[in-house]
Structure 1
Amino acid sequence: MRLSPRNRLAAATALGAAAVLLIAGPASAHVTVQPSSVPKNATDQTFAFRVPNEDDKNSTVKVEIDFPTDHPIPSALVAPVPGWTDTIQTTKLATPIHTDDGDITDVVSQIVWTGGQIAPGHYQDFTVDLGALPDGTDKVVFKALQTYSDGNIVRWIDEARDGQPEPKNPAPVLKLTAATADGDSAASGAKAEPSAKADQSAKAEPSSQTATTAAKSSSDSTARALGIAGIVVGVLGAAAGVVLGRRGRRADGSNASA
Protein backbone atom coordinates (compact mmCIF):
# COMPACT_ATOMS: atom_id res chain seq x y z
CA MET A 1 0.00 0.00 0.00
CA ARG A 2 1.37 3.38 -0.99
CA LEU A 3 1.45 6.14 1.63
CA SER A 4 0.93 9.74 0.61
CA PRO A 5 3.54 12.33 1.65
CA ARG A 6 1.10 13.62 4.28
CA ASN A 7 0.69 10.14 5.80
CA ARG A 8 4.44 9.62 5.76
CA LEU A 9 4.95 12.86 7.68
CA ALA A 10 2.25 11.92 10.19
CA ALA A 11 3.85 8.54 10.80
CA ALA A 12 7.29 10.07 11.30
CA THR A 13 5.87 12.67 13.70
CA ALA A 14 4.07 10.01 15.74
CA LEU A 15 7.24 7.95 15.96
CA GLY A 16 9.21 10.97 17.12
CA ALA A 17 6.60 11.87 19.74
CA ALA A 18 6.74 8.36 21.15
CA ALA A 19 10.52 8.70 21.50
CA VAL A 20 10.08 11.94 23.46
CA LEU A 21 7.68 10.27 25.89
CA LEU A 22 10.03 7.34 26.39
CA ILE A 23 12.99 9.57 27.16
CA ALA A 24 11.40 12.50 28.99
CA GLY A 25 8.79 10.49 30.85
CA PRO A 26 11.00 9.17 33.68
CA ALA A 27 12.60 12.59 34.29
CA SER A 28 10.76 14.67 36.85
CA ALA A 29 11.27 17.68 39.04
CA HIS A 30 12.94 17.20 42.40
CA VAL A 31 14.14 19.26 45.34
CA THR A 32 17.15 21.38 44.38
CA VAL A 33 19.27 24.21 45.75
CA GLN A 34 19.37 27.40 43.68
CA PRO A 35 21.90 28.36 42.44
CA SER A 36 23.46 24.94 42.21
CA SER A 37 27.05 26.16 41.87
CA VAL A 38 29.14 29.03 43.30
CA PRO A 39 32.85 29.78 43.75
CA LYS A 40 34.38 28.67 47.02
CA ASN A 41 35.10 32.28 47.96
CA ALA A 42 31.63 33.58 47.14
CA THR A 43 30.74 36.36 49.55
CA ASP A 44 27.01 36.26 48.80
CA GLN A 45 25.76 33.04 50.35
CA THR A 46 22.01 33.33 49.80
CA PHE A 47 20.38 30.22 48.39
CA ALA A 48 16.88 28.89 47.85
CA PHE A 49 15.75 25.31 48.33
CA ARG A 50 13.19 24.82 45.57
CA VAL A 51 10.50 22.29 46.43
CA PRO A 52 8.07 21.27 43.66
CA ASN A 53 4.83 19.38 44.36
CA GLU A 54 4.78 16.26 42.19
CA ASP A 55 1.53 14.83 43.62
CA ASP A 56 -1.62 15.30 41.54
CA LYS A 57 -3.98 15.36 44.52
CA ASN A 58 -2.12 16.09 47.78
CA SER A 59 -0.32 19.21 48.98
CA THR A 60 3.16 19.39 50.49
CA VAL A 61 2.77 20.33 54.16
CA LYS A 62 6.28 19.87 55.59
CA VAL A 63 9.82 20.34 54.30
CA GLU A 64 12.98 19.22 56.12
CA ILE A 65 16.49 20.07 54.97
CA ASP A 66 19.31 18.21 56.70
CA PHE A 67 22.73 19.91 56.69
CA PRO A 68 25.96 17.89 56.40
CA THR A 69 28.04 17.28 59.51
CA ASP A 70 31.24 16.18 57.73
CA HIS A 71 31.55 19.63 56.15
CA PRO A 72 29.45 21.71 58.55
CA ILE A 73 27.87 25.11 57.96
CA PRO A 74 28.22 27.25 61.12
CA SER A 75 25.08 29.36 60.86
CA ALA A 76 22.06 30.20 58.74
CA LEU A 77 19.45 32.94 58.51
CA VAL A 78 16.04 31.92 57.18
CA ALA A 79 13.88 34.29 55.13
CA PRO A 80 10.23 34.23 56.25
CA VAL A 81 7.80 32.46 53.95
CA PRO A 82 4.18 33.59 54.41
CA GLY A 83 2.07 30.80 55.86
CA TRP A 84 5.07 28.73 56.95
CA THR A 85 6.86 28.40 60.30
CA ASP A 86 10.58 27.62 60.27
CA THR A 87 12.67 25.91 62.93
CA ILE A 88 16.48 25.72 62.96
CA GLN A 89 18.14 22.78 64.71
CA THR A 90 21.81 22.81 65.72
CA THR A 91 24.31 20.21 66.79
CA LYS A 92 27.58 20.35 68.74
CA LEU A 93 30.79 19.47 66.93
CA ALA A 94 33.28 17.02 68.38
CA THR A 95 36.06 19.12 66.84
CA PRO A 96 35.43 22.90 66.85
CA ILE A 97 35.87 25.03 63.75
CA HIS A 98 38.70 27.53 64.29
CA THR A 99 38.09 31.04 62.93
CA ASP A 100 39.58 34.50 63.40
CA ASP A 101 36.58 35.33 65.59
CA GLY A 102 37.03 32.29 67.81
CA ASP A 103 36.08 28.63 67.86
CA ILE A 104 32.67 27.46 66.60
CA THR A 105 31.24 24.47 68.40
CA ASP A 106 27.56 24.56 67.37
CA VAL A 107 26.51 24.29 63.71
CA VAL A 108 23.26 24.01 61.78
CA SER A 109 22.02 20.43 61.47
CA GLN A 110 18.48 20.87 60.13
CA ILE A 111 15.87 23.41 59.06
CA VAL A 112 12.19 22.44 59.10
CA TRP A 113 9.27 24.33 57.55
CA THR A 114 5.69 23.50 58.61
CA GLY A 115 2.25 25.07 58.64
CA GLY A 116 1.97 25.99 54.97
CA GLN A 117 0.99 24.17 51.82
CA ILE A 118 2.38 23.72 48.33
CA ALA A 119 -0.56 22.86 46.09
CA PRO A 120 -0.32 20.32 43.25
CA GLY A 121 1.28 21.84 40.17
CA HIS A 122 3.15 24.49 42.19
CA TYR A 123 6.55 24.95 43.83
CA GLN A 124 7.90 26.97 46.74
CA ASP A 125 11.33 28.52 47.28
CA PHE A 126 12.66 28.42 50.85
CA THR A 127 15.43 31.02 51.06
CA VAL A 128 18.39 30.67 53.42
CA ASP A 129 21.43 32.86 53.97
CA LEU A 130 24.36 30.64 54.92
CA GLY A 131 26.85 32.14 57.33
CA ALA A 132 29.86 30.63 55.56
CA LEU A 133 30.64 27.93 53.03
CA PRO A 134 32.65 24.94 54.28
CA ASP A 135 36.31 24.40 53.47
CA GLY A 136 38.00 21.26 52.20
CA THR A 137 35.28 20.10 49.80
CA ASP A 138 34.03 20.79 46.29
CA LYS A 139 30.37 20.20 47.09
CA VAL A 140 27.82 20.38 49.88
CA VAL A 141 25.23 17.59 49.91
CA PHE A 142 21.96 18.35 51.67
CA LYS A 143 19.21 15.82 52.32
CA ALA A 144 15.56 16.75 52.01
CA LEU A 145 12.35 15.14 53.27
CA GLN A 146 9.07 16.22 51.68
CA THR A 147 5.86 15.33 53.53
CA TYR A 148 2.48 15.33 51.77
CA SER A 149 -0.97 15.90 53.25
CA ASP A 150 -1.81 12.19 52.93
CA GLY A 151 1.19 11.30 55.14
CA ASN A 152 3.45 10.15 52.31
CA ILE A 153 7.10 11.18 52.73
CA VAL A 154 9.46 11.49 49.77
CA ARG A 155 13.12 11.25 50.81
CA TRP A 156 15.47 13.19 48.56
CA ILE A 157 18.61 11.71 50.06
CA ASP A 158 20.44 9.74 47.36
CA GLU A 159 23.80 11.10 46.23
CA ALA A 160 24.66 10.93 42.54
CA ARG A 161 27.83 9.05 41.62
CA ASP A 162 30.15 9.82 38.72
CA GLY A 163 29.58 7.53 35.76
CA GLN A 164 26.27 6.25 37.11
CA PRO A 165 22.67 7.19 36.24
CA GLU A 166 21.03 9.83 38.37
CA PRO A 167 19.25 8.22 41.33
CA LYS A 168 15.46 8.26 41.58
CA ASN A 169 15.44 10.62 44.57
CA PRO A 170 18.64 12.71 44.30
CA ALA A 171 19.68 14.92 47.19
CA PRO A 172 20.12 18.66 46.62
CA VAL A 173 23.80 19.39 45.88
CA LEU A 174 25.63 22.70 45.96
CA LYS A 175 28.83 22.56 43.90
CA LEU A 176 31.77 24.68 45.03
CA THR A 177 33.96 25.70 42.11
CA ALA A 178 37.44 27.18 42.11
CA ALA A 179 37.85 30.47 43.93
CA THR A 180 37.74 33.59 41.77
CA ALA A 181 39.52 36.92 41.94
CA ASP A 182 36.26 38.68 42.75
CA GLY A 183 33.97 36.60 44.93
CA ASP A 184 31.21 39.20 44.83
CA SER A 185 30.86 39.36 41.07
CA ALA A 186 31.26 35.61 40.68
CA ALA A 187 28.49 34.95 43.15
CA SER A 188 26.12 37.63 41.87
CA GLY A 189 23.91 34.95 40.37
CA ALA A 190 23.33 33.58 43.86
CA LYS A 191 21.55 36.69 45.09
CA ALA A 192 18.01 35.91 46.15
CA GLU A 193 17.16 39.02 48.23
CA PRO A 194 15.27 37.22 51.02
CA SER A 195 13.12 40.17 52.11
CA ALA A 196 12.13 41.10 48.57
CA LYS A 197 11.32 37.51 47.73
CA ALA A 198 9.14 37.20 50.82
CA ASP A 199 7.28 40.43 49.95
CA GLN A 200 6.64 39.26 46.40
CA SER A 201 5.46 35.89 47.64
CA ALA A 202 3.09 37.52 50.13
CA LYS A 203 1.56 39.73 47.43
CA ALA A 204 1.15 36.81 45.03
CA GLU A 205 -0.03 33.81 47.04
CA PRO A 206 0.69 32.88 50.70
CA SER A 207 0.98 29.15 50.26
CA SER A 208 3.07 28.78 47.11
CA GLN A 209 4.50 30.36 44.01
CA THR A 210 1.57 31.07 41.65
CA ALA A 211 1.11 30.60 37.92
CA THR A 212 3.98 28.14 37.89
CA THR A 213 3.70 24.44 37.30
CA ALA A 214 5.99 21.72 38.57
CA ALA A 215 7.18 21.21 35.02
CA LYS A 216 8.74 24.67 35.12
CA SER A 217 10.86 23.61 38.08
CA SER A 218 12.31 20.62 36.28
CA SER A 219 15.88 19.88 37.07
CA ASP A 220 18.94 20.20 34.88
CA SER A 221 18.64 16.49 34.17
CA THR A 222 15.17 17.04 32.74
CA ALA A 223 16.52 19.73 30.43
CA ARG A 224 19.30 17.41 29.29
CA ALA A 225 16.78 14.62 28.71
CA LEU A 226 14.58 16.86 26.60
CA GLY A 227 17.59 17.99 24.61
CA ILE A 228 18.50 14.38 23.88
CA ALA A 229 14.87 13.71 23.04
CA GLY A 230 14.95 16.47 20.43
CA ILE A 231 17.95 14.88 18.74
CA VAL A 232 16.30 11.46 18.82
CA VAL A 233 13.13 12.90 17.33
CA GLY A 234 15.06 14.31 14.40
CA VAL A 235 16.96 11.07 13.78
CA LEU A 236 13.90 8.85 14.08
CA GLY A 237 11.83 11.20 11.94
CA ALA A 238 14.42 11.14 9.17
CA ALA A 239 14.77 7.37 9.43
CA ALA A 240 11.01 6.90 9.31
CA GLY A 241 10.76 9.10 6.21
CA VAL A 242 13.43 7.05 4.43
CA VAL A 243 11.83 3.72 5.34
CA LEU A 244 8.34 4.81 4.37
CA GLY A 245 9.66 6.36 1.15
CA ARG A 246 11.30 3.06 0.18
CA ARG A 247 8.10 1.19 0.89
CA GLY A 248 6.20 3.65 -1.27
CA ARG A 249 8.63 3.16 -4.16
CA ARG A 250 8.36 -0.61 -3.83
CA ALA A 251 4.63 -0.33 -3.91
CA ASP A 252 4.79 1.87 -7.06
CA GLY A 253 7.06 -0.65 -8.71
CA SER A 254 4.68 -3.51 -7.92
CA ASN A 255 1.70 -1.61 -9.29
CA ALA A 256 3.57 -0.72 -12.45
CA SER A 257 4.59 -4.33 -13.12
CA ALA A 258 1.04 -5.49 -12.45
Structure 2
Amino acid sequence: MSSKRVLRTTVMATTIGIAGLLGSGVASAHVTANIYGSEPQKGGSGAIVFRVPNEEADAGTTKLEIDFKQEYAISSVRYKPIPGWTAEVTKTQLPAPVKNGKNLDVSNPVTKVVFTAQPGGGIAKGDSEFQEFELSVSTLPSNVDELVLPAIQTYDNGEVVNWDQVQNGSEEPEHPAPTVTLAAASTTSAHDGMDMSTAEAPDSDSSGTDSTARWLGGAGLVVGALGLGFGAGATLRARKAVKK
Protein backbone atom coordinates (compact mmCIF):
# COMPACT_ATOMS: atom_id res chain seq x y z
CA MET A 1 0.00 0.00 0.00
CA SER A 2 1.40 3.43 -0.99
CA SER A 3 2.06 6.15 1.56
CA LYS A 4 -0.58 8.39 -0.04
CA ARG A 5 -3.22 5.68 0.33
CA VAL A 6 -2.25 5.15 3.96
CA LEU A 7 -2.54 8.90 4.56
CA ARG A 8 -5.99 9.05 2.93
CA THR A 9 -7.18 6.10 5.01
CA THR A 10 -5.91 7.65 8.22
CA VAL A 11 -7.59 10.99 7.47
CA MET A 12 -10.87 9.25 6.63
CA ALA A 13 -10.81 7.17 9.81
CA THR A 14 -10.06 10.24 11.90
CA THR A 15 -12.91 12.16 10.26
CA ILE A 16 -15.36 9.32 10.91
CA GLY A 17 -14.19 9.06 14.51
CA ILE A 18 -14.67 12.77 15.12
CA ALA A 19 -18.11 12.68 13.52
CA GLY A 20 -19.05 9.74 15.73
CA LEU A 21 -17.94 11.57 18.85
CA LEU A 22 -19.88 14.67 17.86
CA GLY A 23 -22.95 12.57 17.10
CA SER A 24 -22.78 10.77 20.45
CA GLY A 25 -22.39 14.12 22.19
CA VAL A 26 -25.56 15.44 20.59
CA ALA A 27 -27.47 12.27 21.40
CA SER A 28 -26.35 12.27 25.01
CA ALA A 29 -27.78 15.79 25.40
CA HIS A 30 -31.33 14.42 25.20
CA VAL A 31 -33.48 13.77 28.25
CA THR A 32 -33.26 10.01 28.70
CA ALA A 33 -34.70 7.29 30.95
CA ASN A 34 -32.03 4.90 32.17
CA ILE A 35 -31.95 1.58 33.99
CA TYR A 36 -28.86 0.90 36.07
CA GLY A 37 -28.80 -2.87 36.38
CA SER A 38 -31.06 -5.55 34.92
CA GLU A 39 -34.11 -4.56 32.90
CA PRO A 40 -37.34 -4.33 34.91
CA GLN A 41 -39.80 -7.11 34.22
CA LYS A 42 -43.34 -6.84 32.93
CA GLY A 43 -45.78 -6.86 35.82
CA GLY A 44 -43.00 -6.10 38.30
CA SER A 45 -41.37 -2.95 39.56
CA GLY A 46 -38.21 -1.05 38.77
CA ALA A 47 -36.10 2.04 39.36
CA ILE A 48 -35.98 4.47 36.44
CA VAL A 49 -33.41 7.27 36.39
CA PHE A 50 -34.14 10.29 34.20
CA ARG A 51 -30.99 12.10 33.11
CA VAL A 52 -31.58 15.75 32.23
CA PRO A 53 -28.73 17.74 30.67
CA ASN A 54 -28.91 21.52 30.33
CA GLU A 55 -28.70 22.65 26.71
CA GLU A 56 -29.19 26.41 26.84
CA ALA A 57 -26.16 28.69 26.97
CA ASP A 58 -28.00 31.51 28.76
CA ALA A 59 -30.66 29.66 30.78
CA GLY A 60 -30.79 26.94 33.42
CA THR A 61 -33.31 24.12 33.88
CA THR A 62 -35.80 24.69 36.69
CA LYS A 63 -38.51 22.08 36.10
CA LEU A 64 -38.95 18.53 34.80
CA GLU A 65 -42.35 16.96 34.16
CA ILE A 66 -42.70 13.25 33.43
CA ASP A 67 -45.93 11.87 31.99
CA PHE A 68 -47.29 8.35 32.49
CA LYS A 69 -50.00 7.01 30.20
CA GLN A 70 -53.24 6.14 31.95
CA GLU A 71 -53.34 2.74 30.25
CA TYR A 72 -50.06 1.79 31.94
CA ALA A 73 -52.07 1.65 35.20
CA ILE A 74 -49.07 2.58 37.35
CA SER A 75 -50.37 2.49 40.90
CA SER A 76 -47.28 3.66 42.78
CA VAL A 77 -44.40 6.02 42.03
CA ARG A 78 -41.86 7.07 44.64
CA TYR A 79 -39.12 9.60 44.05
CA LYS A 80 -35.66 9.96 45.51
CA PRO A 81 -35.32 13.35 47.24
CA ILE A 82 -32.88 15.76 45.61
CA PRO A 83 -31.43 18.71 47.57
CA GLY A 84 -32.71 21.96 46.11
CA TRP A 85 -35.69 20.33 44.36
CA THR A 86 -39.29 19.56 45.33
CA ALA A 87 -41.36 16.78 43.78
CA GLU A 88 -45.05 16.06 43.34
CA VAL A 89 -46.76 12.86 42.18
CA THR A 90 -50.15 13.28 40.51
CA LYS A 91 -52.83 10.60 40.23
CA THR A 92 -55.90 10.85 38.02
CA GLN A 93 -59.30 9.43 38.90
CA LEU A 94 -60.61 7.51 35.89
CA PRO A 95 -64.27 7.01 34.96
CA ALA A 96 -63.57 3.28 34.70
CA PRO A 97 -60.68 1.27 36.17
CA VAL A 98 -57.87 -0.12 34.05
CA LYS A 99 -56.01 -3.40 34.53
CA ASN A 100 -52.43 -3.22 35.73
CA GLY A 101 -49.59 -5.66 35.09
CA LYS A 102 -50.96 -8.06 37.72
CA ASN A 103 -54.45 -7.96 36.21
CA LEU A 104 -55.77 -5.89 39.11
CA ASP A 105 -58.08 -2.90 38.76
CA VAL A 106 -56.54 0.55 39.15
CA SER A 107 -58.97 3.47 39.21
CA ASN A 108 -56.50 6.28 39.97
CA PRO A 109 -53.17 5.60 38.24
CA VAL A 110 -50.14 7.86 38.42
CA THR A 111 -50.18 10.19 35.40
CA LYS A 112 -47.47 12.77 36.17
CA VAL A 113 -44.44 13.48 38.32
CA VAL A 114 -43.09 17.04 38.53
CA PHE A 115 -39.70 18.08 39.88
CA THR A 116 -39.32 21.81 40.56
CA ALA A 117 -36.12 23.60 41.52
CA GLN A 118 -36.25 25.83 44.56
CA PRO A 119 -35.42 29.55 44.07
CA GLY A 120 -31.79 29.95 43.15
CA GLY A 121 -31.43 26.25 42.32
CA GLY A 122 -31.77 24.05 39.27
CA ILE A 123 -29.34 22.91 36.60
CA ALA A 124 -26.90 25.69 35.76
CA LYS A 125 -26.94 27.38 32.35
CA GLY A 126 -24.56 26.16 29.70
CA ASP A 127 -23.88 22.58 28.67
CA SER A 128 -21.60 21.42 31.49
CA GLU A 129 -24.15 20.11 34.02
CA PHE A 130 -26.89 17.52 34.20
CA GLN A 131 -29.16 16.21 36.93
CA GLU A 132 -30.58 12.74 37.53
CA PHE A 133 -34.09 12.16 38.88
CA GLU A 134 -34.76 8.65 40.22
CA LEU A 135 -38.21 7.07 40.42
CA SER A 136 -39.33 3.71 41.81
CA VAL A 137 -42.29 2.54 39.70
CA SER A 138 -44.84 -0.21 40.35
CA THR A 139 -46.72 -2.10 39.00
CA LEU A 140 -45.28 -2.07 35.49
CA PRO A 141 -47.63 -3.06 32.64
CA SER A 142 -47.46 -6.56 31.20
CA ASN A 143 -48.96 -5.82 27.78
CA VAL A 144 -46.20 -3.58 26.33
CA ASP A 145 -42.55 -4.17 25.52
CA GLU A 146 -41.51 -0.57 26.04
CA LEU A 147 -42.57 2.31 28.24
CA VAL A 148 -42.80 5.66 26.49
CA LEU A 149 -42.44 8.42 29.09
CA PRO A 150 -42.70 11.91 27.57
CA ALA A 151 -40.91 14.64 29.51
CA ILE A 152 -41.15 18.43 29.57
CA GLN A 153 -38.06 20.48 30.37
CA THR A 154 -38.56 24.10 31.47
CA TYR A 155 -35.83 26.76 31.57
CA ASP A 156 -35.66 29.82 33.80
CA ASN A 157 -36.12 32.10 30.77
CA GLY A 158 -39.54 30.57 30.11
CA GLU A 159 -38.48 28.27 27.27
CA VAL A 160 -40.15 24.85 27.27
CA VAL A 161 -38.85 21.77 25.45
CA ASN A 162 -41.16 18.79 24.94
CA TRP A 163 -39.35 15.46 24.76
CA ASP A 164 -42.30 13.54 23.35
CA GLN A 165 -41.48 12.39 19.83
CA VAL A 166 -41.69 8.64 19.17
CA GLN A 167 -39.05 7.20 16.89
CA ASN A 168 -40.34 5.60 13.70
CA GLY A 169 -37.67 3.93 11.65
CA SER A 170 -33.93 4.27 12.03
CA GLU A 171 -33.73 8.07 12.15
CA GLU A 172 -33.93 9.57 15.62
CA PRO A 173 -36.31 12.53 16.01
CA GLU A 174 -35.12 15.90 17.24
CA HIS A 175 -36.82 15.57 20.64
CA PRO A 176 -37.26 11.84 21.33
CA ALA A 177 -39.39 10.73 24.26
CA PRO A 178 -37.53 8.85 27.02
CA THR A 179 -38.19 5.11 26.79
CA VAL A 180 -37.64 2.03 28.94
CA THR A 181 -37.52 -1.53 27.61
CA LEU A 182 -39.30 -4.14 29.72
CA ALA A 183 -38.04 -7.70 30.06
CA ALA A 184 -40.35 -10.69 29.90
CA ALA A 185 -41.88 -11.68 33.21
CA SER A 186 -39.91 -14.38 35.00
CA THR A 187 -41.60 -17.78 35.35
CA THR A 188 -39.27 -18.83 38.16
CA SER A 189 -40.89 -18.90 41.58
CA ALA A 190 -39.59 -19.61 45.05
CA HIS A 191 -40.93 -23.16 44.77
CA ASP A 192 -38.77 -23.89 41.72
CA GLY A 193 -35.54 -23.68 43.69
CA MET A 194 -34.50 -24.99 47.07
CA ASP A 195 -36.52 -23.55 49.92
CA MET A 196 -33.81 -22.90 52.49
CA SER A 197 -36.28 -22.43 55.32
CA THR A 198 -37.70 -25.90 54.67
CA ALA A 199 -34.24 -27.40 54.36
CA GLU A 200 -33.17 -25.91 57.67
CA ALA A 201 -36.38 -26.71 59.52
CA PRO A 202 -37.50 -30.30 58.72
CA ASP A 203 -40.82 -31.61 59.96
CA SER A 204 -41.21 -33.63 63.19
CA ASP A 205 -41.17 -37.02 61.45
CA SER A 206 -37.94 -36.39 59.61
CA SER A 207 -36.47 -34.83 62.74
CA GLY A 208 -37.37 -37.91 64.79
CA THR A 209 -35.94 -40.22 62.18
CA ASP A 210 -32.76 -38.18 62.03
CA SER A 211 -32.41 -38.23 65.86
CA THR A 212 -32.91 -41.98 65.95
CA ALA A 213 -30.29 -42.49 63.28
CA ARG A 214 -27.83 -40.32 65.17
CA TRP A 215 -28.52 -42.25 68.45
CA LEU A 216 -27.99 -45.59 66.75
CA GLY A 217 -24.83 -44.31 65.12
CA GLY A 218 -23.49 -43.12 68.48
CA ALA A 219 -24.37 -46.42 70.14
CA GLY A 220 -22.56 -48.29 67.37
CA LEU A 221 -19.42 -46.23 67.98
CA VAL A 222 -19.55 -47.03 71.72
CA VAL A 223 -20.02 -50.75 71.08
CA GLY A 224 -17.20 -50.69 68.57
CA ALA A 225 -14.89 -48.98 71.05
CA LEU A 226 -15.76 -51.55 73.73
CA GLY A 227 -15.10 -54.32 71.27
CA LEU A 228 -11.68 -52.91 70.49
CA GLY A 229 -10.95 -52.65 74.21
CA PHE A 230 -11.92 -56.27 74.86
CA GLY A 231 -9.94 -57.42 71.84
CA ALA A 232 -6.81 -55.56 72.99
CA GLY A 233 -7.16 -57.03 76.50
CA ALA A 234 -7.51 -60.55 75.16
CA THR A 235 -4.41 -60.10 72.99
CA LEU A 236 -2.33 -58.97 75.97
CA ARG A 237 -3.51 -61.90 78.08
CA ALA A 238 -2.66 -64.34 75.30
CA ARG A 239 0.88 -62.93 74.98
CA LYS A 240 1.45 -63.27 78.76
CA ALA A 241 0.29 -66.89 78.67
CA VAL A 242 2.72 -67.72 75.84
CA LYS A 243 5.66 -66.19 77.73
CA LYS A 244 4.91 -68.33 80.78
Distance in 1 (alpha carbons) for counterparts of 2:189 and 2:173: 32
- 1:103-153 CA distance string (max 9 Å, x none): 431111111111231123121111111131123222211110111222222
Q: Contact 1:85–1:113 (CA<8 Å) still a contact in 2?
A: yes
Where do residues 187-206 of structure 1 align in structure 2 (5 Å cutoff)? none
Say whether residues 1:25 and 2:22 are aligned partners.
yes
Say whether residues 1:170 and 2:167 are aligned partners.
no
Which position in structure 2 is the counterpart of 1:143? 150
Distance 1:11 1:158, change over 3 A: same
Distance 1:98 1:70, change over 3 A: closer
Q: CA deviation at 1:28?
A: 2.1
Distance 1:56 1:10, change over 3 A: farther
Q: What is the number of equivalent residue pairs in this alignment?
A: 178
Distance in 2 (alpha carbons) for counterparts of 1:94 and 1:138: 26
Distance 1:70 1:129, change over 3 A: same
Which position in structure 2 is the counterpart of 1:93? 94
Any idea what SS the aligned residue of 1:18 has? helix
Q: Contact 2:90–2:112 (CA<8 Å) still a contact in 1?
A: yes
Distance 1:12 1:164, change over 3 A: closer
Which position in structure 1 is the counterpart of 2:13? 16
Greater strand fraction, Structure 1 or Structure 2: 1
Distance 1:124 1:183, change over 3 A: farther
Which position in structure 1 is the counterpart of 2:35? 35
Q: CA deviation at 1:74?
A: 1.4
Distance in 2 (alpha carbons) for counterparts of 1:173 and 1:106: 23
Which position in structure 2 is the counterpart of 1:134? 141
Stretch moving more, 145-154 or 95-104:
95-104
Q: Contact 1:78–1:128 (CA<8 Å) still a contact in 2?
A: yes
Unaligned runs of 5+ residues in structure 2 are: 191-244
Which position in structure 1 is the counterpart of 2:166? 159
User: Which of structures 1 and 2 has the bigger CA Rg?
Assistant: 2
Distance 1:183 1:79, change over 3 A: farther
Where do residues 1-258 of structure 1 align in structure 2 (5 Å cutoff)? 5=3, 12-26=9-23, 27-29=26-28, 30-35=30-35, 37-42=39-44, 44-97=45-98, 103-115=105-117, 116-119=121-124, 120-161=127-168, 163-182=169-188
Distance 1:160 1:183, change over 3 A: farther
Q: Contact 1:41–1:180 (CA<8 Å) still a contact in 2?
A: no
- 1:138-176 CA distance string (max 9 Å, x none): 221111011122222211101122x34121111011111
Distance 1:96 1:54, change over 3 A: same
How high is the TM-score relative to the length of structure 1? 0.59
Distance in 2 (alpha carbons) for counterparts of 1:10 and 1:102: 65
- 1:45-94 CA distance string (max 9 Å, x none): 22211111223342211111111122221121111110001112221123
Any idea what SS the aligned residue of 2:52 has? strand
Identity %: 33
Highest RCO, 1 vs 2 (Cα 8 Å, sep ≥ 6) = 1
Q: Contact 2:71–2:98 (CA<8 Å) still a contact in 1?
A: no
